[in-house]
Structure 1
Amino acid sequence: MSEQICVYRNNEGFVSVQSLRNTSHNEPYIQGWCKKFKAPRTLRIERIINTFDILQDANDYLNNFDPDEIVSPSQRKALSASTFDVHFTGFKKADKTQLTEIAKANGMTVRGEVTKNLNLLCYGYNAGQKKLEKALDQGCIILNEPQFIALIETGEIPEE
């Protein structure tokens, strides 16, 4: 079982150690299962400060962490120009239309189904299990509506 261990700064500036299992990568995100919170976690790759092979090394690094060593977001490499594909499922028609407009206004490409290049699947109350499983099998990021809205507003998926 692969594990991604890193020191990470969230959108509020809080720095913590993150340990994710069964990770999938979808530029600009990495998603995996967090044993500590018993839930999936999604991190922005650009906010990863350092990666480690051993959890204790990450904790030691955090204990001796100097925030001035961090490169500012404006100095970071710009995100890839490739499309960021999203699909909405399990929503009432009006809600799906509104989410589609929000996604397009934020530069995302909205897909009508789960495709091989899909980056993100946003699900509602009536989402089908098979569609969710297909997206998971392809390594898509899976979010509910509040997480999607938080992603749009902050660029980060909330940890709650």
Structure 2
Amino acid sequence: MDVVRFVYEDAKGNVSTREVAQWADDGWQLKGICSSDSRFKTFRRDRIVEVLTDPDPLVDMQRPTHLAPQQDPSTITLSPSLEILFTGFPKARRTALEGYASEAGMRLRKTVSKELSFVCAGPNAGPTKLRKAQGQGVAVLDEADLVWLLETGEMPE
């Protein structure tokens, strides 16, 4: 099946029906091309309220165990198994961003490792650290991407 249609609730409690083509599911994120704007998007599995496609193509996929459903959709809490590294930011900005990530439940890291979930790269991020992260398949976000992730629980496009 090439298209999956589902009801999705974002971190602010907004509920919408989504349709995604050419999708893939890694167990905690559903990724694919959104039919509403033909852009690649990522959706957290634990925010999928109902799958409308019959038969349900996600039924055999295991629900994520490391991301618990949100009790309060206005406040996102990410799994403590999600690890983030900040690089290339002025000290004060880095401290503030680390605070936001920590409040959201993410673990802070100082070095690139294979357990790392994200690198948040500032304007002065070193190319060596970024290459190492990308080489290990770690998602690299900028500050705007991080804000989007923390506000909505969705990976930015």
Q: TM-score, normalised by structure 1?
A: 0.60
Percent identity of equivalent pairs: 33
Structure 2 residue runs without a partner (length 5+) = 55-63, 69-78
Q: Deviations over 1:30-59 (max 9, x none)?
A: 56788x43xx63321223455xxxxxxx9x
Higher helix share: 1
Q: Deviations over 1:57-103 (max 9, x none)?
A: x9xx49xxxxxxxxxxxxx9772665221111221111111111111
User: How far 1:20 moved relative to its partner?
Assistant: 5.7
User: How far 1:105 moved relative to its partner?
Assistant: 1.8
Q: Give the whole-Å Cα distance in 1 for the aligned partners of 2:136 and 2:25.
A: 9
Q: Deviations over 1:129-157 (max 9, x none)?
A: 33333323323232211221222222223
Contact 2:89 2:122 in 1 (8 A): yes
Return closer, same or farther for 1:104/1:90 CA change in 2, 3 Å cut-off.
Answer: same
Which segments of structure 1 move beyond 4 Å, counting only runs of 4 or more? 30-34
State how many pairs are aligned. Answer: 131
Query: Tell me, what secondary structure is at the counterpart of 1:98?
Result: helix
Return closer, same or farther for 1:10/1:132 CA change in 2, 3 Å cut-off.
Answer: farther
Of the three residues 108, 120, 123, the one matched with 1:122 is 120
Of the three residues 146, 149, 156, the one matched with 2:147 is 149
Return closer, same or farther for 1:24/1:78 CA change in 2, 3 Å cut-off.
Answer: closer
| 2:67 is the counterpart of 1:79 | yes
Q: CA RMSD in A?
A: 3.7
In the TM superposition, what are the counterparts of 1:1-160 in structure 2 within 5 Å? 6-8=4-6, 9=8, 11=10, 12-19=14-21, 25=26, 28-29=28-29, 36-37=38-39, 41-48=41-48, 49-50=50-51, 61=53, 79=67, 83-159=81-157
Contact 2:80 2:107 in 1 (8 A): no
Residue 70 of structure 1 corresponds to none
Contact 2:20 2:32 in 1 (8 A): no
Q: Give the whole-Å Cα distance in 2 for the aligned partners of 1:140 and 1:24.
A: 17
Return closer, same or farther for 1:77/1:152 CA change in 2, 3 Å cut-off.
Answer: same
Query: Tell me, what secondary structure is at the counterpart of 2:120?
Result: strand
Contact 2:80 2:106 in 1 (8 A): no
